[in-house]
DNA sequence: CGGTATCCTATCGGATACTG
DNA sequence: CAGTATCCGATAGGATACCG
């Protein structure tokens, strides 16, 4: 398990590293979580929910998640256009972990506020 | 759960974000995982295990983890010096989650290699 | 509505040399 | 052994304007 050094230069050095590369980044965790909570979200809805994201970052992040097979993108060829995002099966497998992390985060935030 | 927008400018916008900030970064996941697998590791042992990390990044990352209460640092005032790192109770709470993520990563890596 | 394009800056992380 | 210090390059992310 240790010394799992089969990947060199640029490749993940272990599965933990591999996974973190796919869900790291400033907004990926939140996007996955919000998609889980709502099943389907449109581009504009994601933008409102993530209120502090720029369109550039939102598009970029959504593309990366799509390329990594964590979300799927459904385009409706209408006017005005409509695009829906949802979790893939692979993406859904990450939800228990994100939920666990969220609970842990809540606990730490509560701890911190008690100290103030 | 959504619209958890009590944190503005610089503060985490939700617990998912909060948690990702603490375990994000290029090496944090691996460090936590290796410390769990070995219980205690010295600075040089971590450096060898993370083989691709520079001393600057290792020290910096360890300090951040320590400041966030995820690991503890024990200094032996000897010559030559000896410093041991281990997980705190709060840090240990993250292990099941990291392990889940690691298994997920392993599965994806296996999937990818089947496609090649 | 759902994006692109362009430009810019700040932070992250790397290389290397040095120290108590 | 366990770090610091300094400098530097890459890249993640932000601001703003525009487009089909």
Q: Which nucleotides of chain C does any protein CB come within 7 A of?
A: 1-6, 12-17, 20
**Strand D at less than 7 A from CB of B21:** no
The residues pairing with B73 across neighbouring beta strands, listed in sequence order, are: B85
Residue nearest to nucleotide D20 (CA to C1'): A81
Domains (ranges, CATH) in chain A?
16-110 (1.10.10.10)
Instruction: Give distance CA B77 / C1' D12 (Å).
Output: 40
pLDDT per residue as tens digits for the range B25-56? 999 999 999 999 999 999 999 999 999 999 99
What is the least distance, in Å, from the CA of A28 to any CA of chain B? 9
Q: What is the pTM of this model?
A: 0.90
Spatial contact of A72 and A79, defined as CB atoms under 8 Å apart:
no
**Cα distance between residue A62 and residue B95, in whole Å:** 28
Q: Are A102 and A89 in contact (CB under 8 A)?
A: no
A101 touches chain B (CB under 8 A): yes
Residue-wise pLDDT for A77-86, tens only, equals 999 999 999 9
- Judged against a pLDDT cut of 80, whether residue A106 lies above it is answered with yes
């Amino acid at each position: 398990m240790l010394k799992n050094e089969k990947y060199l230069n640029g490749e993940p050095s272990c599965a933990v590293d591999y996974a973190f590369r796919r869900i790291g980044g400033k907004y990926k965790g939140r996007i996955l979580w919000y998609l889980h909570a709502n099943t389907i979200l449109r581009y504009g809805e994601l933008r409102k929910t993530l209120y502090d994201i720029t369109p550039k970052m939102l598009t970029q992040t959504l593309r990366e998640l799509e390329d990594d097979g964590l979300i799927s993108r459904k385009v409706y060829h209408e006017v005005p256009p409509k695009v829906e995002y949802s979790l893939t099966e692979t993406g859904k497998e990450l939800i228990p972990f994100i939920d666990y992390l969220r609970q842990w985060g809540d606990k730490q935030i509560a701890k911190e506020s008690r100290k103030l």
